[in-house]
A = this chain, B = another copy of it.
Amino acid sequence: MSLPHAILTALLEKPSSGLELTRRFDRSIGYFWSATHQQIYRELGRLEAEGHIRALAPAQPARGQKKSYEVLPAGRAELARWTAAAQDPKPHRDALLLRLRAAAVVGTAGLQADLGRHLELHRRQLAEYEEIERRDFPPGRDTAEDRLRHLVLRAGIDLETFWTQWLTQALAEVAAMPSE
Contacts and interface: CB of A to CB of B under 8 A. Distances in A.
14 contacts: A9-B101, A33-B97, A80-B106, A86-B117, A87-B95, A87-B96, A90-B93, A100-B148, A101-B149, A148-B173, A148-B174, A151-B170, A155-B166, A159-B162
Contacts of A108: 148
Interface string A20-49: 000000000011111000000000000000
A55 interface: no
Nearest to A25: B91
Interface residues of A, number: 70
Contact of A102 (B9, B30, B92, B111): B9
A15 interface: no
Q: Is the interface of A mostly helix, strand, loop or mixed?
A: helix
Copies of this subunit: 2
Interface in A78-99: 79-80, 82-87, 89-99
A98 B2 contact: yes
Interface of A: 2, 5-6, 8-9, 12-13, 30-34, 76, 79-80, 82-87, 89-111, 113-114, 117-118, 121, 144-149, 151-152, 154-156, 158-159, 162, 166, 169-170, 173-174, 177, 180
Contacts of A173: 147-148, 151
Contacts of A104: 144-146, 148-149
Contact of A106 (B76, B96, B99): B76
Given A5-B99, A159-B162, 10 more contacts: A9-B98, A9-B102, A32-B92, A32-B98, A34-B92, A103-B148, A104-B144, A104-B145, A144-B177, A147-B173
Contacts of A152: 97, 100-101
